[in-house]
Structure 1
Amino acid sequence: INSILSLMVALYILGSKERLLLQGKRLIMAYLKPSHAQTLLDIIRLMNESFTNFFVGMTLEGIILGSLVTVAASIFNLPYAGMLGVIAGVMALIPIIGGYISAAVGTLMLLAVSPSQALFYLVMVIIIMQLEGNLIYPRVVGGSIGLPGLWVLVAFTVGGGLMGISGMILGIPLAATLYKLLGRDVLMREKRQTLTILE
């Protein structure tokens, strides 16, 4: 029931998002000082940009992982190579457990054909997921949201430790927003110090 209600609320929000955005902006402008309102709207805009870029990066990362699994399965003549790649790519959108789900589903599919091929696939997909998780994911997702790879891994780990799967999903875009806000603040302080020195 909660899932159905959540879906319905999400659809209503998507259907009237322009009106909700306008109402939210009017509320902020009406109840806050102009300088505070502008700062809050700027932070909201930055968060929106970070979250959008994060989900675009996650989708790109899923495509890359799916392609790697498809190519590797084709090279080693495993059956259902295309389907195994699609499953891996779609499940990559689910942090942490998505890879395990895709590995389990693919292994079960191949187990019906050949136990040795199923075992080989399991080892192959674990190696690909390790490479992808430690090398490709931080660069692709971090590059899309403007967050260095090291901080992507830190945000992912800390967010997961604090809030589980939702923390993994929200941790990276929130860290990217904080990273950009901190960068802006540092630049403003450096400019002030430079102006003070010149005076």
Structure 2
Amino acid sequence: MRIPVRKQIMWWGIAALTLLLTLWLLGQAVLPFILGAGIAYLLDPVADRLERAGLSRTMSVVVITVAVVLAFVTVVLLIVPVLLRQATALIETTPAMIEQGRAFLDARFPDLIPQGAGLQQTLADLQATMGEQAGRLASTVLGSVTGVLGTVALLVIVPVVAFYLLLDWDHLVAAVDGLLPREHAATIRQLAREIDDALSGFLRGQAVVIAILGTWYALGLMFVGLPFGFFIGIMAAVLSFIPYVGVLIGGATAIGVALFSFWGDPLWIGAVVAIFAIGQIVEGNYLQPKIVGGHVGLHPVWLLLALSVFGALFGFVGLVMAVPMAAALGVLARFLIARYRESSLFTGQGLPDEPAQPILVEMVPAGTVAERLRHARMAADRALSRQQVEAMQDDLARRDAKG
């Protein structure tokens, strides 16, 4: 008997709530496993390509693991220290830049900031507060990053989980497919393919875009001699996964630092502006259309909403899960909207009645029915004769028993 749709929705809803509750209660504990699964998901196409090239699955995973470990060690030893050092210096220099900007406005535009309106004191308080908190904030950031990178769970469990999941990824997918409810298996597979297309297209495409933009911004700003240029360039590239956010934040920071450092030399200030203008033109006209493409379906506003909501609910684990959850929810939303447009609630017309069961007519040669009736009558007569004989035998047996 078919399970009612309402009961199916109830059970699926309970399963989803259980998953969210588990993430909320065990967020930090399951973080290494989520990261490992994400790494395995991203590297699975590479392993498949190496298999098609002739390597076994085990050898493909070993080659990928060695390459990823070498890249990770290189980044940690060469890039991360520079980023941390420049980030700390930028935080400590920010109050001085604010003071110089305030002094410039007071000298050139004395009426721009009204005296006695409280804004002057607000800016002064902001500068003092940032100066007092700069060292503490830098220490906190350094301690947090160092703690995360030095956690045994992230340095040991994540690579191990990623290695074994990548090794058995195809078997895991087949096992999950075998557990799908048969009635909805085709629909779930289609939704999973759409989620995979959106998620993989966004993550892998944006990774390439970020790498290209990071190289351009960092090297360009370092070439013009901008202080903290390497950190600002990497920051702008990383934030570019949300359109216009990276160029706005990175560009504003770079131009502010350029005004502070190159005041009186407009050539280098213009060079900083040109670096971000060229990067934005190349990203919008070539990198995003050619590399990411139009199949992603993750709107920037939707992505920002997912980051805010999941980050507030689940902390750092929510930020990690925000992008895949945004992709999944986006696909599910489009699926439900399509079903809504097909429903009577949207069209205003009731669904047609179920068609009646057809009457089956068997075509047989002429005389077949009469022949079957004759055989049936003969069988009934024989059965009646047997019953009469058995009754007579029983009657004779009873008489003999009495005599």
TM-score norm. by structure 1 comes to 0.55
Equivalent residue for 1:138, pick from 289, 293, 307: 289
Equivalent residue for 2:249, pick from 77, 82, 101: 101
Indicate the SS of the match to 1:112.
helix
Question: Is 1:125 the equivalent of 2:292?
Answer: no
Question: Contact between 2:226 and 2:257, CA under 8 Å: does it hold in 1?
Answer: no
- How far off is 1:85 after superposition? 2.6
CA distance in 1, matches of 2:186, 2:290: 32
More helix by share: 1
- How far off is 1:55 after superposition? 0.6
- How far off is 1:98 after superposition? 2.0
Equivalent residue for 1:55, pick from 178, 203, 207: 203
Please identify the structure whose Cα radius of gyration is greater. Answer: 2
CA distance in 1, matches of 2:182, 2:248: 47
2:226 aligned residue: 79
Question: Contact between 2:235 and 2:246, CA under 8 Å: does it hold in 1?
Answer: no
CA distance in 2, matches of 1:7, 1:54: 25
CA distance in 2, matches of 1:97, 1:61: 14
Output the amino acid matched with 1:139.
K
Q: How does 1:32-47 map to 2 (within 5 A)?
A: 32-33=182-183, 36-47=184-195
Alignment RMSD, CA only?
A: 4.3
Aligned length: 157
Any unmatched runs of 5+ in structure 2? Answer: 1-23, 38-160, 166-172, 307-322, 335-403
- How far off is 1:24 after superposition? 7.0
Q: Percent identity?
A: 21
TM-score norm. by structure 2 comes to 0.31
Instruction: For residues 74-95 of structure 1, give each alpha carbon's deviation from its aligned partner in whole angstroms, at most 9, with x where no partner exists.
Output: 55x3324433432222222333
2:240 aligned residue: 92
Question: Contact between 1:108 and 1:118, CA under 8 Å: does it hold in 2?
Answer: no
CA distance in 1, matches of 2:249, 2:29: 27
